[in-house]
Structure 1
């Protein structure tokens, strides 16, 4: 377990861009200081930040390994922890090969020279940034795909609901348009709107059975009368509804209103029809 330093930024459980940038800046300063010290001990001159051999031959010296420098050990352990966390949280489609390679190299940090460990740690941090950025992009793509799929499912559900409503409406219309359905509609409407009971409804059944057989598509080619009440012309029923050609209920509503205004009751209309053959 690495020790915490009061001058080091607190580490979050998972590296993010701002955290890594701060960490890299701090480590870069430490790295330069150590490189100067190590280079001096090895007889190396730092030229523009790059290590080059001194012109004067120096006696062979032993290169200090990372395990002898607590700060380098902490650097390696932190880089490994960041890398492993990034691998754990990486998207399944993210390319983690470069990061895995760095983890493999850093796992043997105790036998590496300190300067090599620092280079590997920085390379690992860069690979972490790449994996984190790619994972974020892939997760956003997944979220967008999920939103689109949810929207498509919602639209499909709405379309299915409307189709079901239309199917039920079509079934109801077909049932109402049948002779038995039309008579049931007429009986209920006659009672609710005009207070006509069974005796009046019996006259209505006789009247419209004679006129159309309760067929909403009945048409008289000679006169042009149309529908269950044989409106003349059929377009008069448009005052009740634009669907007068296809909806028995619309025709019934118009026919009952016509009987009420012209004859008062269905039985009166039926009596007139019996005497003159029309109403």
Structure 2
């Protein structure tokens, strides 16, 4: 800040020297033209005797710092716009990251749903395989299980008794009992057959035991 003061004072000094030099030059010029020296001197010197030298305004250190730190309105607007763009960019990246994570979760759920068992073939053939897997003979199926479920539902996995509410191939009552073998018990014949065979095994021992009971009392 000392340099600033010195610069202003130096400027004032140089200005004064220049004024004197100019006056001297004017006097010399008039002298060369055979002009009266007094006239030349009057022309070089200002007529107003009361005019004071130009006041030099010194700038304090505080005013200098304040002036250097002031930010114009245009520059302030530009800085605000840059900050807004950076904020929006950060939020956009976060949103994209969140959306990407959400899509991964949805894909995992879809894969889990695809893992649920589905069966589109002949339910009788599947039931025969399950009967044999239990160690029962093929006769248990052909002579007993096949006619039992033919009577109950005609092997229709969407059959529902309008009066009792029994549902599916084995006519489970209520139908949601079959949920123990799969959440797709309403639409998947394989889930219904697996539940029906476990029910027969636990209650009657074999399909023929269930068929005999049905023939005797009309239900199993």
The partner residue of 1:240 within 153, 160, 180 is 180
The partner residue of 1:216 within 135, 138, 157 is 157
- State the Cα distance separating 1:150 from its structure 2 match: 3.1
Partners of 1:205 and 1:32 in 2: how far apart?
A: 114
* Alignment check: 8 A CA contact 1:272 1:278 kept: yes
Q: How do residues 1-279 of structure 1 correspond to structure 2 at under 5 angstroms?
A: 30-43=3-16, 45-49=55-59, 130=76, 134-156=81-103, 158-159=105-106, 161=107, 164-165=110-111, 168=114, 175-176=118-119, 180=122, 184=126, 186=127, 190=131, 194-196=134-136, 198-202=138-142, 203-221=144-162, 224-231=165-172, 233-234=173-174, 237=177, 240=180, 246-247=186-187, 248-273=189-214, 278-279=219-220
* Alignment check: 8 A CA contact 1:212 1:227 kept: yes
- State the Cα distance separating 1:258 from its structure 2 match: 2.4
* Alignment check: 8 A CA contact 1:200 1:267 kept: yes
Which has the greater radius of gyration? 2
Q: What CA deviation, in whole Å up to 9, does each residue of 1:112-134 have, x standing for no partner?
A: xxxxxxxxxx69x9579755665
Q: What CA deviation, in whole Å up to 9, does each residue of 1:46-93 have, x standing for no partner?
A: 32529xxxxxxxxxxxxxxxxxxxxxxxxxxxxxxxxxxxxxxxxxxx
* Alignment check: 8 A CA contact 1:187 1:201 kept: yes
- State the Cα distance separating 1:237 from its structure 2 match: 2.1
Tell me the secondary structure at the aligned position of residue 91 of structure 2.
Answer: helix
Partners of 1:267 and 1:156 in 2: how far apart?
A: 51
Q: What CA deviation, in whole Å up to 9, does each residue of 1:162-206 have, x standing for no partner?
A: 67448736xx66x43x5725853x4565566x4446454444334
How many residues of Structure 1 are paired with residues of Structure 2 in the alignment?
172
Partners of 1:191 and 1:32 in 2: how far apart?
A: 110
Aligned to 2:24: none
* Alignment check: 8 A CA contact 1:182 1:249 kept: no
Partners of 1:236 and 1:142 in 2: how far apart?
A: 51
Partners of 1:129 and 1:197 in 2: how far apart?
A: 92
- State the Cα distance separating 1:34 from its structure 2 match: 2.4
**Dislocated runs of 4+, deviation >6 Å:** none
- State the Cα distance separating 1:265 from its structure 2 match: 1.4
Partners of 1:32 and 1:258 in 2: how far apart?
A: 106
Aligned to 2:37: none
TM-score w.r.t. structure 2 length?
Answer: 0.53
Tell me the secondary structure at the aligned position of residue 45 of structure 1.
Answer: coil
Q: What CA deviation, in whole Å up to 9, does each residue of 1:6-51 have, x standing for no partner?
A: xxxxxxxxxxxxxxxxxxxxxx55444423322332355332529x
Unaligned 5+ residue runs, structure 1?
1-27, 51-121
